[in-house]
Amino acid sequence: MALLKSNKVIYCLGNISPSLGVLSIRNSCSSWWGGVQMGPPDPILGVSEAFKRDTSPKKMNLGVGAYRDDQGKPFVLSCVRKAEALIAAKQLDKEYLAIGGLGEFTKACAQLALGAESEVLKSGRNITVQTISGTGSLRIGANFLSRFHGGPRDVYLPKPSWGNHTPIFRDAGMELKAYRYYDPSNCGFDFKGALEDISKIPEKSVIVLHACAHNPTGVDPRPEQWKEIADLVKKRDLLVFFDMAYQGFASGDIDKDAWAVRYFIEHGHNIVLSQSFAKNMGLYGERVGGFTVVCNDAEEAKRVESQLKILIRPIYSNPPMNGARIAATILNTPELYSLWLEEVHGMANRIIKMRELLVAGLKKEGSTRDWQHVIDQIGMFCFTGLKPEQVERLTKEFSVYMTKDGRISMAGVTSGNVGNLAHAIHAVTK
């Protein structure tokens, strides 16, 4: 009877034969999702798809943010392979991790960021939870702010910032604002503009800072500039949210890359911090990250920990273990830790060398433009200063693929293609 009484069910039966004793209905079944519109394509994914379709033997994909060796191949660190072998030999179980993650990982994760001698760690006034890489860390942090931050719901991002920052904070219910950061006139840091904008941010708002290797520009403040920013942020009573996705990968020095984070803490900022081990350990698909809250005291840290667990539980219950085991093994095994420092230094140096070779190649081609910003910028990405129409020419005429804003992933540049890249850039900029 329910079948006969339900208009929706009868309607969805469609073209049923009259021999079954049911009236034939010609209309097709209506959809719950008929009103869902096609979303815009991901700009970086679009670059990769266009690259795959190109048949040129000289094609270059400079859009993807993943490290490649000097042959343009994905690179797995030796310390990772050795850690995997050690883990496999132990024949460990596959039980659930705790909601906050693998303890030996979260402890080492915090120590890597804050420093072994950090007062915060010694006093126990931090809580660090394992997250699903940097994106997951940022989202847990955004959810935590949305629920517990007592100030304005405004989050101030540098302009520009990593593209995923906006939807992460927006979808957590925060309001997005911006402060000046990049100066297109010199492809460098707009220090004056940043200070002017930060000085006007309402008190107790949230400000996002890239700890090192700013994405997408590769432009970082100098230490003396960081000091002024820290003083101003303190005067404005802003909550600092550091995003540190490239520790060690930027300069090759883990302490240098964490300098800003540690300076802010030493000067009284109780920051929140996102970390990722995708770039610096090459654990892209393992999704290894951490989220840290620096609190006033150990008792406050316990309360924050309890609420972070409550936030995490209905999202993914607990994080994956394999990548955390790999990272923890590397960070807690002296031999592997030393090897990792060597390898991350080597990756950073290759990127730095490619920057130098690109500029040298441009000069060799006869370019009279000032390309010093390519060398001055740091990390995986370089904001070239190329205009959209120049990027379009690079793609059409030289099969060089990058995002329209002129950002290139230096990881895609090799000793084998840097000459072709310099030739192509000079051709569209002369």
Q: What is the rounded distance in angstroms from the CA atom of residue 278 to the CA atom of residue 45? A: 18
CA dihedral angle for residue 67, residue 71, residue 74, residue 75, rounded to 10 degrees: -80
What burial class does residue 322 get, using C-beta atoms within 10 Å of its C-beta: 0-12 exposed, 13-18 middle, 19+ buried?
Answer: middle
Structure-token pair, residue 340: 């990792």
The β-bridge partners of 272 are: 241, 293
**Gyration radius (Cα) of the chain, Å:** 25
- Active-site pick, 190, 226, 279, 340: 279
Known catalytic membership, residue 33: no
Q: How far apart (Å, rounded) are the C-alpha atoms in residues 65 and 63?
A: 7
Residue in 162, 226, 340, 371 annotated catalytic: 162
Q: Facing residues of 210 across strands?
A: 243
Do residues 162 and 183 lie in contact, with contact meaning Cβ atoms separated by under 8 Å? no
| Residue pair 188/219 in contact by the 8 Å Cβ criterion | yes
What is the C-alpha to C-alpha distance for residues 349 and 351, in angstroms, rounded to an integer?
5
The residue length of the chain stands at 430
- Where do runs of H (alpha helix) occur along 289-321? 298-316
The answer to whether residue 237 is catalytic is no
Whether the link from the prior residue into 216 is cis, omega within 30° of 0, is yes
Q: Select which of 190, 220, 243, 257 is catalytic.
A: 243
> How many other β-carbons are positioned within 10 Å of the β-carbon of residue 209?
25
Please give the full DSSP string across 34-95, using - where no structure is assigned: TTPPPPPPPHHHHHHHHHHH---TT-EE----S-B-TTS-B---HHHHHHHHHHHHHT---P
Q: Coil, strand or helix: which one is 418?
A: helix
Q: Tell me if residue 242 falls in helix, strand or coil.
A: strand
- Structure tokens, 421: 């890249």
> Has 243 been annotated as catalytic?
yes
Q: What is the largest CA-CA distance in the chain?
A: 85
Burial 85-119 (b: 16+ CB within 10 A, else e): eebeeeeeeeeebebbbbeebbebbbbbbbbeebe
From the list 209, 284, 212, the residue with the least C-alpha distance to 248 is 212
User: What residues are annotated to the active site?
Assistant: 162, 243, 279
